[in-house]
Structure 1
């Protein structure tokens, strides 16, 4: 109670500026009400693929890709469309090291996933050690720990990326799958822990589902009971 009282007092005396518009108010929680309302939430979409959460133009149960080749993961809980202004917050977090944006995004993802089926573990999408060294952190790993703290779910960094790839941005799903094939492995120390476990794979942006497909197949082959995808944003299929 004392900590909450002190926090509320500090928020009133020293209000933090909104991370998007920069305006300050004692009621702001890193994002002002107007900017929060401007975020492109997926739950506003009339139709979504039940498996990968791709926005659709009709009430079909599945998108064409999930219908033709069903992924190993069961379903996806994704908070936003990857478009402005959400992309600005992700960019500030990943490339400008603005951890306050990352903590805000983690809270928003936790709110989205709060009513999803509870997994046994949150498993972050791994990045190669070279990319981690260049960036200074793995954004999916930080997201997983923050979401796990909000929802009281343990985090298990069960996977690793064996081979370094340059940015996958702009590649087709087939090209991404080719790059990712045999790129990931299960850490030996975690092989027993994931046996029969329900896992939520944590990622920042789902674009072609190539990474989600590859890792979910790997986890299920290693003995996981089921894999769901929890992600911040879904790239629309143009």
Structure 2
């Protein structure tokens, strides 16, 4: 297989050379990002192990998690939500830029995953009305290549968004919690393993992931982790 992949990669680079989505320069390392822009991506190397909140140094639990532990068990977010990753994310999520989505997916695949491996990945679902409007679920499209890279199955229909909610973007933490309360449910008869990951593109306050985690815990899932491509560097949580 490798003997076939290398010539195909060279052919792709010749016919459709990688081009940086941020500055327009030549891309590198099989990405539509140049080396300079890729070097600016904000890595989330120092963070809370419980909620992935960016911190000056890595800790087991930040102050917010110590005061009120989240309903999940551990979090992984390899990037901080900041320049220039936030620009790629906005183009992917709201601008239907699938090239940006492929680049974000590839960046996530290149990150070092947690040691504890789940048996299943569940992307945070969109309501059917939002799915019709956007045309795709950005969390699912990131989960599929990551699941293949890690050899972890991905289920797109394990969780349902049972009612439509307004966009979380302009809401504060308390309003976000109210907005998603009771908005998710398990599909009837969906068997779940004891260790499940909830996956989303960006984690801000964690309200959406927390509501999904509660649904899984009530269904008897022993361990629920949350994975997001990027974590917003905000201390206003839960």
TM over 0.5: yes
Q: Aligned pair count?
A: 232
1:115-167 CA-to-partner distances (Å, cap 9, x unmatched) read 43211111000111111111111111111112112222110131111111111
Using the alignment, how far apart are the partners of 2:7 and 2:146 within structure 1? Answer: 24
SS at match of 1:4: helix
Q: Is the 8 A contact 1:77 1:116 kept in 2?
A: no
- When structure 1 is superposed on structure 2, of 18-27 and 126-135 the one drifting more is 18-27
Residue 233 of structure 1 is matched in structure 2 by 230
Structure 1 unmatched runs, 5+: none
Deviation at 1:59, TM superposition (A): 6.2
Residue number among 207, 210, 222 corresponding to 1:210 in the alignment: 207
TM-score, scaled to structure 2: 0.90
Deviation at 1:173, TM superposition (A): 1.9
TM-score, scaled to structure 1: 0.90
Using the alignment, how far apart are the partners of 1:120 and 1:19 within structure 2? Answer: 34
5 Å-filtered alignment, 1:62-77, equals 62-77=61-76
Residue number among 195, 198, 201 corresponding to 2:198 in the alignment: 201
1:34-89 CA-to-partner distances (Å, cap 9, x unmatched) read 1111101111x4xx212001123466542232111111211111011111111111
Residue 165 of structure 2 is matched in structure 1 by 165
Using the alignment, how far apart are the partners of 2:160 and 2:21 within structure 1? Answer: 32
Where do 4+ consecutive residues of structure 1 move more than 4 Å?
Answer: 25-28, 57-60
Residue 85 of structure 2 is matched in structure 1 by 86
RMSD: 1.9
Structure 2 unmatched runs, 5+: none
Residue 148 of structure 1 is matched in structure 2 by 147
Residue 49 of structure 1 is matched in structure 2 by 48
Deviation at 1:224, TM superposition (A): 1.5
Using the alignment, how far apart are the partners of 2:143 and 2:81 within structure 1? Answer: 19
Using the alignment, how far apart are the partners of 1:146 and 1:36 within structure 2? Answer: 20
SS at match of 1:42: coil
Q: Is the 8 A contact 1:78 1:112 kept in 2?
A: no
Q: Is the 8 A contact 2:18 2:32 kept in 1?
A: yes
Using the alignment, how far apart are the partners of 1:106 and 1:179 within structure 2? Answer: 28
